[in-house]
Amino acid sequence: MAKLWEKNTQVNAKIETFTIGRDREMDVFLAKYDVLGSMAHIRMLESVGLLREDELNLLLEELKNIYQLADKDEFVIEEGVEDVHSQVEMLLTAKLGDMGKKIHSGRSRNDQVLLDLKLFARAEIKKTVASVNDLFEVLISQSNKYKDVLLPGYTHLQVAMPSSFGLWFGAYAESLADDLQLLLSVWKITNRNPLGSAAGYGSSFPLNRQMTTDLLGFDSMNYNVVYAQMGRGKMERTVANALASVAATVSKLAFDACMFTSQNFGFIRLPDEFTTGSSIMPHKKNPDVFELTRAKCNKLQSLPQQILLITNNLPSGYFRDLQIIKEIFVPAFAELQDCLEMTAMMMAQVEVNTEILNDSRYNYMFSVEEVNRLASSGIPFRDAYKQVGLEIEAGNFKPDKTVNHTHEGSIGNLCNDQITAYKNHVLNQFGFDKVKLAERNLLA
């Protein structure tokens, strides 16, 4: 099958297979967005006189049909077709003849794929934000529910000071709120229109780039056409950093959960149906979901470095190296969303041990409380510290297990309402409704 760029010479079959790589597989994920971009582009072409109104209407109708195929996961890039752009144009040409070939005026596959990836990333960021918010709500709810249940805090993995399940659950909730702040930043970087930059140097056609920017619901365009092309790889790396930040939060939570469910800790327990067993040890109940979540999230944290290593020695302009980024970038969203969904489900059902401090091994974690009580009664802090230390060494320390922490963010004053307000303030800045309306209008 002839390529969009092919003239009289056919490419060697092995070269073709190597250069196409996994593009057909990855480009299926971009099909809806390629169609949306084409719909905006041809509306603009009609407005500047490069398409007739009757041609526009026929093309839009057929593009809507292709969009429906992609939306129902029935869009296929056929064998011998190079990429999603070629498949869409081939379907239009098969239905509408040479009219289908007119959609490429004023653009290149370079700015098409830039646009597709931005529209795809924009949609996936929205899903990721929703999943992060779902996990946040579970964690903040559990924090409030168990705010008065104490557990040991650790430094160097040694029992240190009193903590609480309110603090533990709430800490991860607030971490996710900061992760949302990063997602907001990358949303703003992603939500800029590269269409019209063509191969990276613009076009002699009188394109109206502001029109396609508005039609697609972007906040603005990437103005400089060379920079628009330079954004390939940069956008993916920037987004990957935000995904990696979320993954780091979830990975740390998963590690805590694995540790806290072990018999040596026994702080939390998973319902039996959330665990797996051993083939030879009948007593085993393994937290495999948390272990796999930890591994998947650790892998996701390598994503920015992988993209960096593909792009960091490339000058300005387009290079085929950039194609490989799709293979690691496109699947990353679904993997992170799976981890977020599973973690939310597990953390919502986890059973908390309310009797942890009955174990005498945790008595010494109240030593700082005793030092602070003595200091509050007028004894110099360093003297109070020495007095309690000598009692511990002599085996005479008797813990007072009452805890009175009142400052902001402490055991007795979690500030969960403030953390939730901070998270909601970040969420409200995304402006997802503007994008939804623009896409709905395009498809109307």
Token pair, residue 224, equals 């400089």
pLDDT band at 6 (very low <50, low <70, confident <90, very high): low
Residues with Cβ within 8 Å of residue 266, at least 6 apart in sequence: 260, 353, 356
- Range in 157-161, 269-273, 417-421, 426-430 the model is least confident about: 269-273
Q: Are 34 and 84 in contact (CB under 8 A)?
A: yes
pLDDT > 50? residue 200? yes
Bridge partners of residue 163, in order along the sequence: 151
Using CA atoms, how far residue 337 sits from 14, 132, 246, in Å, is 36, 8, 10
Residue 307: which H helix or E strand, with range?
A: helix 303-311
Residue 421 burial by Cβ neighbours in a 10 Å radius (0-12, 13-18, 19+): exposed
Mean pLDDT of 126-142: 98
User: What pLDDT is stored for residue 4 in this prediction?
Assistant: 53
Q: What is the model's pTM?
A: 0.92
Using CA atoms, how far residue 425 sits from 181, 241, 415, 429, in Å, is 10, 21, 15, 7
pLDDT band at 279 (very low <50, low <70, confident <90, very high): low
Mean pLDDT of 219-226: 97
> Between residues 375 and 5, which one has the greater pLDDT?
375
User: What pLDDT is stored for residue 5 in this prediction?
Assistant: 45
pLDDT band at 22 (very low <50, low <70, confident <90, very high): confident
User: What pLDDT is stored for residue 119 in this prediction?
Assistant: 98
Q: Does domain 13-105 have CATH number 1.10.275.10?
A: yes
pLDDT > 60? residue 7? no
**Alpha carbon distance 263, 255 (integer Å):** 15
Determine how many CB atoms are found less than 10 A away from the CB of residue 378. 7
- CATH architecture for segment(s) 110-358+414-443: Up-down Bundle (1.20)
∠ CA 19-2-54, rounded to 5°? 120
By percentage, how much of the chain surpasses pLDDT 70?
A: 95
∠ CA 368-371-376, rounded to 5°? 125
Domain definitions of the chain by residue range: 13-105, 110-358+414-443
Mean pLDDT of 313-342: 93
Query: Over the stretch 101-124, which tens digit does the pLDDT of each residue have?
Result: 999 999 999 999 999 999 999 999
For residue 297, how many C-alpha atoms fall within 13 Å in the half-sphere facing its CB? 25
